[in-house]
Amino acid sequence: MKAYIFPGQGAQFTGMGLDLYNASALAQEYFEKANKILGFSITDIMFEGTAEQLKETKVTQPAIFLHSVILAKVLGDSFQPEMVAGHSLGELSALVANGVLSFEDGLQLVSKRALAMQKACELAPSTMAAVLGLDDQIVEETCAEIEGVVVAANYNCLGQLVISGEIEAVEIACKVLTEKGARRALILPVGGAFHSPMMEPAAAELAAAIAATTFSAPSCPVYQNVPAKAVTNPEEIKKNLMAQLTAPVKWTQSIQAMIADGGTEFIEVGPANVLQGLLRKIDRSVSASAATFAV
């Protein structure tokens, strides 16, 4: 079965989407529509902006979403997903790709999500750290023992778990996890503690926006971050999306569930190739490639 996977924050790069824009009138139409919806020229920043400008959450998230979703649109009839999944922000791209959300509603939610997360980051200093080379259970148990907020946030692949929370608690966890044998425990250059209780204010704000948005029946199952299993019921999809900002991204478990359900060919739709790398670390028996369009 053919599975399409959509990347999250961190996949951005200067010049992203310019090849799409230049090659396709349909892509141009969608990019211009996005500029109008967002109320600023995101294409200028994507195509010509600096890495620093692209790193701003209110730009990064819509930019990655647009690159992914417009690429899926440009693929036309060759885009026939039998299952989809998205890493964190990528889940919204996946939901547009399988028909649950319209392009316009998806972009509005991404923009609201980015702004709400930015605000939550400013309320309290917080951070994330990548822990490499330790069993998930050891990381989870260690986080539970530490005072303050620190939780497992992103199950990226076997032996790579990102933790998230208050700065001091994350720093202590890194020290303890290194003592317990982690190959590395590295603070990440992010604006805040995504997928942790620190995102509660953003989650409440986003939940209201999700509740007011129309969710349609999907053309194929979406393997969502929160339950890490196939979901087709629009109300259930909504509920899981509302929970996503404060819950961990169970990416390893989602990919394993897709493979167990018959996924053999995984195609990454969006900038960079982060998810292909993670997929190879999760299971080398399935094929991993990038979506490409013919000019």
And the tokens for 64?
Answer: 């990655």
* Residue burial 180-213, b: 16+ Cβ < 10 Å; e: rest: eebeebeeeebbbbbbbbbbebbbebbbebbeeb
Tokens describing residue 186: 């590295």
Task: Answer for the pair 246, 122: CB distance below 8 angstroms, yes or no.
Answer: no
Catalytic residue (one of 24, 68, 87, 88): 88
- At 81, the amino acid letter reads P
**195: annotated active-site residue:** yes
Q: How many CB atoms lie within 10 A of CB 237?
A: 24
- Verify whether residue 88 is a known catalytic residue: yes
Identity of residue 200: E
Decide if 99 contacts 48 (C-beta within 8 A): no
Give the active site residue among 68, 195, 196, 254: 195
Distance (Å, whole) CA 139 – CA 267: 30
- Tell me the two tokens of residue 251: 């990416």
Q: Tell me which residues are annotated as active site.
A: 88, 195
